[in-house]
Amino acid sequence: MTLPIHCPVCTLEEVSTHEDRYECVTCGHEWPLEAASSDDLDAPRVVKDAHGNLLVTGDDVILVKDLKLKGSSTTLKGGTKVRRIRIVAEGDHEVDCKVDGMSVMLKACFLKKA
């Protein structure tokens, strides 16, 4: 079992491995294999919004576009303010929050800091 590798630029886990380097599938950033050490995996997760601002637990954010929720007919409208987000340590999303009383998991690339 291998530990997930995060891209140092966009912090997503969509990383492909080559002979001598890692490559982020999302943003195209490349870095050498030896750069990913166990010390990097123990560090707290760095989450940035769509404009590159650092997000932390407790921040208020605004949705930058309409988002259709999977498995539901609900659409979250762009411009909706979300209060008191929680940064997630692991997983395919970075933010847990409540929108209109529903618990929602979101990627930070669809948010901007309020």
Q: Confidence class of residue 1 from pLDDT cuts 50, 70 and 90? A: very low
State whether 25 and 60 are in the same domain: no
User: Where in the sequence is the domain holding 73, given as residue range(s)?
Assistant: 47-113
Q: How many CB atoms lie within 10 A of CB 5?
A: 19
Model pTM above 0.85: no
59-107 pLDDT, tens digit per residue, is 999 999 999 998 889 999 999 999 999 999 888 899 999 998 899 999 9
d(CA 11, CA 8): 6
> Do 72 and 102 fall within a single domain?
yes
What span, in angstroms and rounded, lies between the C-alpha atoms of 80 and 30?
35
Query: pLDDT for 8-39, tens place per residue?
Result: 777 778 888 888 888 888 888 888 877 545 45
Specify whether 36 is located in the same domain as 3. yes
Find out whether 83 and 95 touch, Cβ atoms under 8 Å: no
Q: Token pair for residue 5?
A: 């590798």
Are residue 62 and residue 108 in the same domain, yes or no?
Answer: yes
Do 24 and 73 belong together in one domain?
Answer: no
